């Protein structure tokens, strides 16, 4: 057994974090993620994080990188130390993670240009300065809020169906 002695300020900060996690668990604020995919031939040799982003498009590359580093996204049953390690055809990528449930994103009428749309896809021009989706410190006034107003059918999709920017 090891004992750690924490200064009072650190103890109370840690206690607040633990209390928050306990509240979220007790109030079902976490969603269990269990997904798996095999690496196809066209992704063989790609970086692990790039292949994961293509195989699991519902999650951001940053989130996938965090899961790789924490061992929640494994390759052939083993944790991988680096996100840049290459994958091989047939490798099995498995995600077993807990995802904090995001709050509801509300529809808002905001201006943006639609370049193209049909029954399955919309290509939009995001004005400079418009935040893409709610995040730290930004709860509304985002492109995601505007998309939910114009396309309410996207509400059940992760990030309301936002996929990626075409200019990056």
Q: Name the residues annotated as catalytic.
A: 167
Strand pairing of 73-75 and 122-125? unpaired
């Amino acid at each position: 057994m090891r004992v750690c002695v924490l200064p009072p300020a650190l103890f109370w900060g840690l206690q607040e974090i633990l209390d928050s996690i306990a509240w979220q668990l007790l109030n079902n604020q976490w969603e269990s993620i269990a997904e798996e995919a095999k690496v196809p031939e066209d992704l063989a040799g790609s970086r692990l994080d790039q292949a994961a982003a293509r195989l699991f498009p519902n999650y951001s590359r940053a989130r996938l990188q965090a899961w790789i580093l924490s061992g929640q996204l494994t390759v052939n049953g083993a944790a991988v130390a680096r996100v840049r390690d290459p994958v091989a055809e047939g490798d099995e990528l498995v995600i077993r993670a807990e995802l904090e449930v995001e709050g509801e994103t509300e529809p808002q009428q905001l201006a943006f240009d639609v370049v193209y749309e049909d029954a399955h896809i919309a290509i939009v021009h995001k004005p400079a300065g418009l935040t893409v989706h709610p995040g730290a410190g930004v709860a509304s006034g985002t492109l995601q809020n505007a998309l939910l107003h114009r396309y309410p059918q996207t509400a059940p999709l992760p990030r309301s169906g936002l996929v990626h920017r075409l200019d990056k």
